[in-house]
Amino acid sequence: MQLASLPSPCHCDGPLLDASHQANLVSFTRLFRAHLSPVRPAPAYTCGMHFHLLFPLPPPPLTFCNVAGNATHPLALRHVQRLPTHTLSFPALTTRNPVESFSSVSPVGSSFTNIPPHPPDAKMGPLSKKRMIIRDGVFYAELFEFLKRELAEEGFSGVSYHVTTLRTEIVIKATKTREVLGVNGRRIRELTACIQQRFNYKEGKLQLYVERVEVRGLSAMAQVESLRFKLLSNLQVRRAAMGIIRYVMESGAKGCEVTVGGKIKGQRAKSMTFRDGYMIKSGTAHKSFVDSACRHCYMRAGCIGVKVKIMLPGDSTGRNGPSEPLPDVITVIEPKQITASE
């Protein structure tokens, strides 16, 4: 970091400095140079005494906050003991210096949206159908991502919500319902407080329920999480994938497909696919009969992507699979036996 020398008197267009002022100026520049940190070159800034100082003036680090004044996201929370109810009021995308006090900022925030958080039943005035679809989609996407990360070890298998005039009901599907509820319902109350604080629900307007997945082998989300934990525990890819396929086929599925891609072995990335049974790839029936889920494993060599597809069987009750049959299934009816008397 170099500090420019003072220009000569012939190039100075302002009042000249006497010897005492020049000595004070030199001592000031030396003192200022001692406190500078070499960050990056910056343009020269002109001082009022007609000299140029070439020193970096980086802007102070700023933090983007949303309307509620939140600087963190509930995905980082594991166990919430107590949540403040007061919020800050300032524009949607404001910047604040981190040296200011953050004592009054709520610990729950959002990094997915830059719009004010609103529940699906909030009174925002008349909205077009397009805006309502976008609002509900953003709400479901953030809710699904939060629960997927928070309840990964509890076998999270999906979420659905229903809005009524009295309250909003959210149903969480998981394989380990006891762990989701927690001791004396503590865990489910923590999740309710997080969601209620994030989306500005009033007290008593939000209710969470837990539904147990009857057949774990027919849930792609549960199986892909199991495969992810197996790979993180340094189990061989082929052994882990074949274990998942065997368990799925024993649960009554028509087919299963497991795909693992990334730096599996060595520095060159590749993809490995393991299949068993029957699997459809196209058509409208693919949306209802094939359950798929994808996750990422962050290994030492890099990121590995895992994907599980399960071909669900037909079920007349609609619990373990679609109630309607496949469109290409042909049922042959036994011919009627005609007797001689007829």
Same domain, 303 and 229: yes
* Residue 239 and residue 289 in one domain: yes
Can you list the residues of the chain whose pLDDT is less than 70? 1-125, 342
Q: Are 309 and 292 in contact (CB under 8 A)?
A: yes
CATH number at residue 289: 3.30.1140.32
Q: How many CA atoms lie within 13 A of 313 on its CB side?
A: 16
Q: What is the pLDDT of residue 338?
A: 81
pTM of the model: 0.59
Q: Is residue 119 part of a domain?
A: no
Same domain, 142 and 206: yes
Q: What is the DSSP letter of 110?
A: -
Predicted pLDDT at 120 = 55
Which residues form the domain of 224?
A: 220-311
Do residues 43 and 35 lie in contact, with contact meaning Cβ atoms separated by under 8 Å? no
Please identify, among 212, 234, 259, the residue that sits at the C-terminal boundary of a domain: 212
Residue 136 falls within a domain, yes or no? yes
Amino acid at 341: S
The enclosing domain of 168 has a CATH number of 3.30.300.20
pLDDT of residue 341: 74
The verdict on 225 and 197 lying in the same domain is: no
Tell me, yes or no, whether 184 and 136 share the same domain.
yes
Considering the domain architecture, whether residues 200 and 235 belong to the same structural domain is answered as no
**Burial of 139 per CB tally in 10 Å (0-12, 13-18, 19+):** buried
- The answer to whether residue 173 sits within a structural domain is yes
Please tell me whether residues 299 and 232 are part of one structural domain: yes
In a shared domain, residues 261 and 205:
no
Q: Is residue 57 part of a domain?
A: no
Please state the domain count of the chain. Answer: 2
Largest CA distance in the chain: 136
Asked whether residue 224 is assigned to any structural domain, the reply reads yes
| Residue 109 in domain | no
In a domain, 45, yes or no: no
Is beta strand 255-262 parallel, antiparallel or unpaired with respect to 303-311? antiparallel
268 and 306 inside one domain: yes
DSSP result, 59-125: PPP-EEE-TT---S-GGG-S-------------SSEEE-TTS--TTS-S---SS-SSPP--TT---S
Give the CA distances from residue 331 to residues 60, 155, 214, 317, in Å, rounded to whole numbers and listed in that order: 73, 37, 29, 19
Asked whether residue 115 is assigned to any structural domain, the reply reads no
What single DSSP character describes residue 318? S
Helices 186-198 and 129-150: crossing angle in degrees, nearest 10, is 150
- The residue out of 164, 187, 212 marking a domain boundary is 212
**pLDDT for the residue numbered 235:** 92
Calpha distance 112→90 (Å, rounded): 19
- Final residue before a domain boundary, out of 149, 179, 212: 212
Q: Phi and psi at residue 274, in whole multiples of 5°?
A: -125, 130
Which residue reads 């795909």 in tokens? 259
